[in-house]
A = this chain, B = another copy of it.
Amino acid sequence: MSLTIKDVAEKAGVSVTTVSRVLNDRGYISAKTRKKVMTTMKELNYTPNEMARSFLSNKTRFIALIVPTTENPFFGELTFHIEKELAQKGYNLFICNSLNDVENEKKYLRLLQEKRVDGVIVGSHNINISEYEHFENKIVSIERELTKGIPIVQSDNYAGGRLATQELIDKGCRSILCIRGDQHIKTPANDRSIAYQEVMEENNLNYFFEEVPFQLQDQEKREIVNQIFSGEVMYDGIVAGDDIIAKMCINSAVTHGVAVPEELKVIGFDGTKIVRQLSPELSTIIQPIEKLAQNSVEILLSILNDEKVNQVTKLPVKLLSSISTKK
């Protein structure tokens, strides 16, 4: 196949040990020998075999990232930033799209064990997966509460929920609907609807919920949203689960003859780059995606290094609002 350290050694007239030494810059070597070996490697166009090294060291320098799908802009951007961080620290990214399917997730986890990845970042999780146990001390989770002592990095969802709700109230809304995800899945995002409810109660306003699970097809989501606007619309504000749902609400409202933002004000969640490019007018809560990525990578590498880390890292969100007070 391709050249080995042995070929280099023979050509250079030294032992494989010596070649290994210059390769790793370890131990004593005479300048002359080093130079000869270097030249030989160049001449032969030798590339060290990382597989062999990994095998020996029991380290692959691969980190796996499990997300529902990189198709979703939040995860697409997260993936980008995580890859960038990892590459900078000498690690490579192995992508797993779970599609929020438990079986997929199990299959990947088994695979990750077999492939001996050095660590795992989980951005998608379906409870009760025992396979996670095998990765103790090699896992960090983003926006998901896994079992036991697995560190979690998350946005300040509670603050985000408060900000969004308060913004709508400040801008004159009184009958506000909160669209949230599947309540069976325990995620920090649930804190948003808790915050929403609290703010509503503090303002002596009634609260309303609608559930739109993340893993539904677009069409199904759209149908739920359309139902809100068929018949008499009883809301003048919506705190949406994410920007895509927010946009669906706006589109559906307009289609049903509801004026936005005059009669209905909508606020989204995530604030990904692409959404801000395509719909700069959309008000939303911006998640610190790059920081989520940086922190999760940093924490994971610390764990791998047997360092002590914080169990919970909560990062601040930001309100981006262009809602005017005009009714």
Q: Is the CB of B251 within 8 A of A50?
A: no
Q: Is the CB of A76 within 8 A of B84?
A: no
Q: Within 8 Å of chain B (Cβ to Cβ): is A275? A: yes
- Cα–Cα distance between A51 and B84 once the two chains are bound (Å): 25
- Cα–Cα distance between A110 and B87 once the two chains are bound (Å): 13
Q: Is the CB of B70 within 8 A of A73?
A: no
User: Which residues of chain A from 53 to 79 have any CB-CB distance to chain B below 8 Å in the complex?
Assistant: 54-55, 58, 60, 62, 69-73, 76-77, 79
Contacts of A62 in B (CB 8 A): 94
Q: Within 8 Å of chain B (Cβ to Cβ): is A156? A: no
Contacts of A243 in B (CB 8 A): 278
* A244 touching B277 in the complex, CB below 8 Å, given contacts A83-B97, A92-B111, A92-B115: yes
Scan A152-194; emit 1 where CB is below 8 A from any B CB, else 0: 0000000000000000000000000000000000000000000
Q: Within 8 Å of chain B (Cβ to Cβ): is A206? A: no
- Cα–Cα distance between A113 and B55 once the two chains are bound (Å): 16
Q: Is the CB of B274 within 8 A of A248?
A: no
Q: Within 8 Å of chain B (Cβ to Cβ): is A47? A: yes
Q: Is the CB of B73 within 8 A of A116?
A: no
Contacts of A1 in B (CB 8 A): 58
Q: Within 8 Å of chain B (Cβ to Cβ): is A114? A: yes
Q: Is the CB of A94 within 8 A of B93?
A: yes
Q: Within 8 Å of chain B (Cβ to Cβ): is A316? A: no
Q: Within 8 Å of chain B (Cβ to Cβ): is A325? A: no
* A71 touching B80 in the complex, CB below 8 Å, given contacts A50-B116, A111-B92, A277-B244: yes
Q: Is the CB of A76 within 8 A of B70?
A: yes
Q: How far is the CB of A151 from chain B (nearest CB, A)?
A: 22
Closest to A277 in B: B244
* A79 touching B70 in the complex, CB below 8 Å, given contacts A48-B114, A51-B60, A113-B47: yes
- Cα–Cα distance between A84 and B96 once the two chains are bound (Å): 9
* A50 touching B274 in the complex, CB below 8 Å, given contacts A95-B95, A280-B251: no
Q: Within 8 Å of chain B (Cβ to Cβ): is A36? A: no
Contacts of A274 in B (CB 8 A): 71-73, 244, 274, 278
Q: Within 8 Å of chain B (Cβ to Cβ): is A49? A: yes
Contacts of A55 in B (CB 8 A): 51-52, 54-55
Q: Is the CB of B115 within 8 A of A273?
A: no
Looking at A52, A54, A71, A251, which has the most chain B CB atoms within 10 Å of its CB? Answer: A71
Q: Which residues of A contact B (CB under 8 A)?
A: 1, 47-52, 54-55, 58, 60, 62, 69-73, 76-77, 79-81, 83-84, 87, 92-97, 110-111, 113-116, 134, 218, 243-244, 247-248, 251, 273-275, 277-280
